[in-house]
Amino acid sequence: MSATAVPQQITGLVPRLKGLRGIKAKTHNIFPLNSSGTTTFSPTSGSNLLVFNIPAFKNSWLDVSKCYLRFRFKTNAGTFCPRGIYPFERMTLRCGNQMVEDIQNLDVLQSIMSDLEPVGKKQADAYQTGDFRVCPNQTNGLIEAAATLKNIFNTGQVFEHQIISGVLSKDYQDHYLPIHFMNGSGGPSMEISFHLASGNNFCVRDAAGSIDFELSEVELITTVVEMPMEVNQRLDKELYNQGKVSIPICTFRSHNNSIPQNSQNAELSINESAMDLETIYTAIRAQNLPAIVNYDASTGTNSHTNLARLGGHGSGITVADNDAAYNQAKVKRAQYRYDTLLFPQKALENSSHDTKNTLLHVLNTLDLFKSDAFLGGFGKDAASQFDAMGSFILANSFKTSRDAINNSLNAATTGAPVELSLALAKPAAVALQVQSFAKSNYTLNITRDGQVSLLNGSARETPVD
């Protein structure tokens, strides 16, 4: 009888075994609890919340690399999405009575992560994700014309939506989850909720009218791996002897600040008491975001959505930021600070015609210099995605190396906040909101009675011989 090696996704979570019998993988389609086969979800209706329960399947482990959300997305007549689909403003994940994740302003975070993707991946995935910003069109260069986008989104198409989660996303976690042991409450192993965002955030119109969208045929696709009894027995023994199994995870927390109208300098606090704060991503947007009903792909001015981020120089690179006619909310200087530590050591100072110094710092600190990151490229008419097309962000990674250890910023030592010092090139013409997302590392502990707890800081799992 042939033997199968222990999958690397569970190495360290169970004692090492010399060999196993065949491993079975099963794909399960999970429907929202609050739906029937014909239920549609919309932010303007009473059905604006999706709730999924992942059962504690017997002898099974959840393969997070194959978890994704699938739905049919349809806008009302005349409404379309020129910069991708970001339908959720909040995601929560509970294991029993423990709130493991609560990510707010998820649509903003998702748009940031989308702009950090490689151009090749974005183009290859466009048909399945609904983000067509790098898709060539033989007629006019890009798929951006209102008529073309209306045909796509008014008809209704099925799209895949990757989940941003330190527990369920393949981009942030690479362990199988022993869901058969995560039912201490006697119910499902975990509950995931998605709150719908306003369509005004990511949808537009080219003529007057209301903006709305709906989701139907919603399914959470999961793959569970049925392990042989030997593996589960060893884990059960380990839980009984040591009391817990620890899985390193990460998650995001949203922090909101504001810059009043006519202000030019700001000192903002990000109160994140994490023992292993890895990265901060910051987006700047207008506070007042009315529906966009004058979309025009032929101009850079009216070709964005409300998720487009401010801070870049704008499309007029020949106009200096000290010119009397210049009126963009451009970031002239920026620096993060914690206690006496400065990130970077010398504040970022942008030139009078672009914010390329900030772009280079973002690519460097996030280790994206060797990646063809979308935000580093060009859009329509050679306009910079970062400066002119709404992809500007501030970011800083506090991790000192790529090792899987606690070598990021311990922001819990003094109780002081991380501070962001900002200076604009000109006083803000409108009130601005500054949304920062702190990515921090935690440890998910599973105990022998099926309960789940969260530890501030990450732990490296240790294989047991």
Q: Could you tell me the residue ranges of all domains in the chain? A: 8-456
Q: Amino acid identity, residue 460?
A: R
CA gap 452, 448 in Å, rounded: 10
**Above 80 in pLDDT, residue 382?**
no
Is 8-456 CATH 2.70.9.10? yes
User: Given this model, what pLDDT does residue 41 score?
Assistant: 94
First-to-last alpha carbon distance for the chain, in angstroms, is: 24
pLDDT tens, residue by residue, 403-412: 767 789 999 8
What is the band of 213 on the pLDDT scale with cuts at 50, 70, 90? Answer: very high
What is the band of 463 on the pLDDT scale with cuts at 50, 70, 90? Answer: very low
Q: Which of the residue ranges 86-100, 127-141, 382-396 would you say has the lowest mean pLDDT?
A: 127-141
Spell out the alpha helix ranges (H) of 27-181. Answer: 106-115, 119-129, 146-155
pLDDT tens, residue by residue, 159-199: 999 899 989 888 888 788 888 888 766 788 899 999 999 99
CA gap 367, 361 in Å, rounded: 10
Beta bridge partners of 334: 348, 422
User: Given this model, what pLDDT does residue 137 score?
Assistant: 59
User: Given this model, what pLDDT does residue 25 score?
Assistant: 86
Closest CA to 194 of 80, 94, 291: 94
Beta strands in 96-212 (DSSP E): 98-104, 136-137, 141-142, 157-161, 176-177, 190-196, 204-205
Q: Biggest alpha carbon distance in the chain?
A: 80
Bigger pLDDT: 465 vs 164: 164
User: Given this model, what pLDDT does residue 222 score?
Assistant: 93
Bigger pLDDT: 140 vs 209: 209
**Above 90 in pLDDT, residue 287?**
yes
Backbone phi and psi for residue 280, each to the nearest 5 degrees, phi listed first: -125, 130
**Above 60 in pLDDT, residue 18?**
no
pLDDT tens, residue by residue, 342-374: 999 999 999 999 999 999 999 999 999 888 899
User: Given this model, what pLDDT does residue 240 score?
Assistant: 63
Bigger pLDDT: 83 vs 316: 83
What is the band of 279 on the pLDDT scale with cuts at 50, 70, 90? Answer: very high
Please state, rounded to an integer, the average pLDDT across all residues of the chain.
86
pLDDT tens, residue by residue, 234-266: 777 766 666 677 888 899 999 999 999 999 999
**Above 50 in pLDDT, residue 2?**
no
User: Given this model, what pLDDT does residue 107 score?
Assistant: 96
